[in-house]
Amino acid sequence: MPTKTDFATLDRLATVATRVRLANLTVADLDRPSGCPGWDVRNLLSHLVGGNLRFAQALRGEPADWPSRDAEPVASPLAEFDASAAEMAAAVAGLDDPKRLVRLEAGEPPAFFAVGVHGADMLVHGWDLAVATGQDPTLDPDLCAAALAVIERYPPSFWGPGQFFAPRIDTSSAEPQARLLAFSGRDSSR
């Protein structure tokens, strides 16, 4: 169970949860709408694989081609997700200084926070994947709380088109999953 500051655990567990959903995909699922405006499931998978690769590059201090993130070709979804997730995990394990600034598309946070950003993105997109393919969309409440602890700290530059999340939806729910989804611009009633 991750704590508010245990972003590496959030990232690892969110990646595992999303992988479970990805393992259940069929070829027919790839053309389904993802719930993310303008994306089908295939585009969502490109985003996830590309995100793993770009975040890993950024964490290693390498330049990351953020504009190409969503154009990552994915011919074998599970194999390519696994390979990119292993690269991300290795980058997290190899962090030399968790406070070192890393260049993301939306800003330059400390490395430990960038890991949390990736974990929150992975968790929310795992929900998107589940909804798009008719799988159980339930997220672990502890992971939702940890992801909320990350995205509640996003600076304004992280929000909006071309950034990490869509505009927030107001919610009065105290339930972590509903709050996380609303905070990231998703309607949990789907």
- Binning pLDDT at 50, 70 and 90, where does residue 179 land? confident
Q: What is the CATH number of the domain that holds 109?
A: 1.20.120.450
Q: Express each pLDDT in 15-26 by its tens digit.
A: 999 999 999 999
Does residue 188 fall inside a structural domain? no
Q: What is the pLDDT of residue 157?
A: 66
Phi first, then psi: what are they for 82, rounded to 5°?
-60, -45
Does residue 146 fall inside a structural domain? yes
- Binning pLDDT at 50, 70 and 90, where does residue 1 land? very low
Rounded Cα distance, 168 and 179, in Å: 10
Q: Is the pLDDT of residue 141 over 50?
A: yes
Short-list 118, 85, 114, CA closest to 100: 114
Rounded Cα distance, 27 and 148, in Å: 33
What's the rounded mean pLDDT across residues 24-43? 90
- Please tell me whether residue 40 adopts helix, strand or coil conformation: strand
**Which is more confidently placed, 72 or 126?**
126
Does residue 1 fall inside a structural domain? no
What's the rounded mean pLDDT across residues 124-147? 94
Sequence letter at residue 88 = M
What's the rounded mean pLDDT across residues 36-65? 94
- Write out the residue range of the structural domain in which residue 120 sits: 7-183
Q: Is the pLDDT of residue 83 over 80?
A: yes
What's the rounded mean pLDDT across residues 41-65? 96
Q: Is the pLDDT of residue 93 over 60?
A: yes
**Residue for token pair 């696994």:** 82
Q: How many domains does the chain have?
A: 1
CA distances from 45 to 7, 11, 77, 182 (A): 22, 17, 7, 22
Query: What's the chain's average pLDDT?
Result: 88
Does residue 2 fall inside a structural domain? no
- Binning pLDDT at 50, 70 and 90, where does residue 190 land? low
Short-list 168, 173, 171, 170, CA closest to 185: 168
- Binning pLDDT at 50, 70 and 90, where does residue 160 land? low
Does residue 142 fall inside a structural domain? yes
Q: Express each pLDDT in 94-128 by its tens digit.
A: 998 999 999 988 788 999 999 999 999 999 999 99
Does residue 155 fall inside a structural domain? yes
